[in-house]
Amino acid sequence: MLLKLSVLLVVAVTFANAVDSKDETCKPYFDQYCDKKPPYTDSSLKPCSPLYGAVDKRANQLRKYIKEHIANSFEYLLQWANFNNYKKDREGFAKLYRKLSDDTWEDGIKLVQYLGKRGVELDFDSLIYQTPPQKYGVGPVGKSKSESEIVSLAKVLDLHKQLAISGNSIHEDSIKHDSLRHDSRDSNLEVEHQHDIELAHFIEEEFAGKHAQTVRDLAGHSNDLQRLLKEGGRDDKKLDASGFYVHLFDEYLRKLY
């Protein structure tokens, strides 16, 4: 966990100086300094920015998306700790949640690096607090208690669905058409950029398919375990075999992950 925080801090500091300016031109600004002797020594000279398109309009969404990935990664890590102990000893569930935690963390790092590449300021302070997901009513991240296998799977499924929905929202906003608006200062029409094909491609390529597959896998695991629990607790059985079936399912997860 400390290693994860250290890595995030290093990446955040690396991109903390990214220029968040809506002025996408660079050469005209430098032209006025060319005749100075010596040139380019003025303290007011601003750095050029890689910012273009409409990525600045998606900056807050992307920061929130990073926050969701980091928070979910730690939630999955808590679930791993819940099952990776001498009391429960569910190695299969532990391996599943550790893999989810590591994969989600790596995706968060990819987003941090992408913001730096596009010239968007990271704003590391905004990553400290995580609000609970709004869509599925899941409790605040980091407040996990000891949960059963089926409840844990359902919770993790809901959290990952929220990640997928957030990614869909960013992609949808990134493919909107540019619009025209009146400039109140001189009544001229100005183009308001909404479309950012590079951002849309990044979200689709790196997250859309991966999230869809993970959600499908988690839903399948939840349904399979539910059927096993129903079979193990049938009224016509002399003994409740649900615990044994959960053990078999855990063995399946251990071999799968």
Tens digits of pLDDT across the chain (257 residues): 555 655 555 455 444 444 444 555 666 656 665 555 555 555 666 667 788 887 888 889 999 999 999 999 999 999 999 999 988 899 999 999 999 999 999 999 999 999 989 988 877 666 654 554 445 455 555 555 678 999 999 999 999 999 999 999 999 999 886 665 666 666 666 666 678 899 999 999 999 999 999 999 999 999 999 999 888 766 556 556 788 999 999 999 999 99
User: Which residues, at least 6 apart from 251, have a Cβ–Cβ distance to it below 8 Å?
Assistant: 92
Residue with tokens 């990819």: 110
Domain ranges of the chain: 2-17+26-256
Instruction: Assign residue 138 a region (left: φ > 0; alpha: ψ between -120 and 50; beta: otherwise).
Output: beta
- H or E element that contains 152: helix 149-174
d(CA 90, CA 96) in angstroms, rounded, equals 10
| CATH number belonging to domain 2-17+26-256 | 1.20.1260.10
- Looking at residue 189, the DSSP 8-state letter turns out to be E
Beta bridge partners of 192: 179
Residue 158's pLDDT is what?
97
